[in-house]
Amino acid sequence: MVVSGGASAPRHLRLPVSSSNYLTNEEHWLNQTLDHFSPYVLAKKFGAVVVSLEHRYYGKSSPFQSLTTENLRYLSSKQALFDLAVFRQYYQASSNPILCTLSDWKILTRKFGDVLLWLRYGFHLAEEDGGGVEAPRHCLRNRRVLRNFKPLRPMECRCLDSLNEKLNRSNIDNPWFVFGVSYSGALSAWFRLKFPHLTCGSLASSAVVLAVYNFTDFDKQIGESAGPECKSVLQEITRLVDHKLGTNEKALKTLFSAAELKNDGDFLYFLADAAVTAFQYGNPDKVCIPLLEAKKAGKDLVEAYATYVKEYYVKSLGVSVETYNQQHLKKTALSSDRLWWFQVCTEVAYFQVAPSNDSIRSSKVDARQVYTVYHLPNNLINQVIINGRYHLDLCKNVFGEGISPDVTATNLYYGGTRIAGSKIIFTNGSQDPWRHASKQTSSPEAEMPSYIITCHNCGHGTDMRGCPQSPLVPGGDAKNCSSPDAVNKVRQQIIEHIDLWLSQCRGSGRSSM
């Protein structure tokens, strides 16, 4: 059985519902893109059921009606791992679990240590004596008791088919294998680390397991992935933008259709991300070819880059300029835009900053200091160094005093790239800047192989998603990778590891090893 959990930007994907291979024939819609994995090939290979969990707070899995900083206190990777563990136990149950809903919000308020648990599917939430929650009559004989559960308001309950109930069997614990890409890849690795008794192994594709404060290697990798010519043009554009930002800020931001970004740091981050995305998701030619052509033709490079940003990054990929606006991020309405920044600002940082030299992104925004340009009455320009820090100031501005990432604690808890797990497959694309927050060396003694897939457009999650990685190709098509053989070779090795570890689980009669 394969299970994945992760968070990403909200888009819509309809789940297939017409096959007897699924546990339910009801139609379900997820208000969340599933673009961080393509499990279908592996599922067919191993005869697996694919289960995808919506990360707490994202989509509809929120326990609160507003996302104030106080209400976000239960949003963390640690909490998400416990959600996965509890869900896995209930989903595998030998009798019907019961789902209780409260006005479309699902919550379990029992504490396990300091961990609050809730999830959308598969929980049995009724007390032994009812406790004000009346379960359907035909579920009572099968219900599992969660003592001390006290519902916050009236609830409705119904039965769900567990896996064993669906297959008309009992006391069977299926082998489980977890996988994910990017942050969900890190969750996959961490789940195997923290709950090795619940899974046979893990595929951690482009898994960002290392929390990083000053992530300068990110920008360095963009330079390497771009190649000398494209890198030089991108650096020239950055210099021109920095200059224009000081001479005619309004016209420059209007050119990029980003006049709403009053904060210069927000604007520069938006421009940097636009370039990053092309390399990260296996589309380097989307940005490099038009810019190199503009350079050779003697055209305005800033205008050429603005065209790329508006046509590809915003229009084709559907990125909203608003998501870079700190004023927007401060809004507490239910939206995923604010959520990932909270995790960044409390756990992992990943602050993408310019290295001390030879950078592509603007050095006017980094984790140490912010440069602000003031327009003096006599039209002179004075550049002043403020003893502030863009990223930390963003965390403080958006979430309030005392909010900053404790990367030391995160890496101490999970181990970073020295993760002390076992039976975890790490994979990364050669052009992906995020690979520098992943484990890139194998640990044979712990059965933790690491593979780098090398090709011109091998980016984030290439092993699971093929090339390019955006827009999504559900089957993970590798034919558009510049070296399909490199991708398929790693995929074959992944299959061999999964096959071995699952067989070891079955041989021991356990669902984990």
Active site residues: 182, 432, 460
Q: Which of these, 291, 399, 422, 280, lies nearest to 345 by C-alpha position?
A: 399
Q: What is the Cα–Cα distance from 10 to 33, expressed in whole angstroms?
A: 6
**Residues linked to residue 214 through DSSP beta bridges, in sequence order:** 351
| 199 vs 188: CA distance, rounded Å | 10
Helix (H, G, I), strand (E, B) or coil at 493: helix
Q: How far apart are CA 425 and CA 189, in angstroms?
A: 8
Helix-strand-coil percent breakdown of the chain, rounded to 5?
A: 40, 15, 45
Centroid of chain to Cα 314:
20
Burial 29-56 (b: 16+ CB within 10 A, else e): ebebbbbbbbbeebeeeeebbbbbbbbb
DSSP 448: B
**Helix 284-296 and helix 264-280, axial crossing angle in degrees, nearest 10:** 110
- Coil, helix or strand at residue 264: helix
Query: Closest by alpha carbon to 265, among 125, 152, 363, 145?
Result: 363
3-class secondary structure, 227: helix
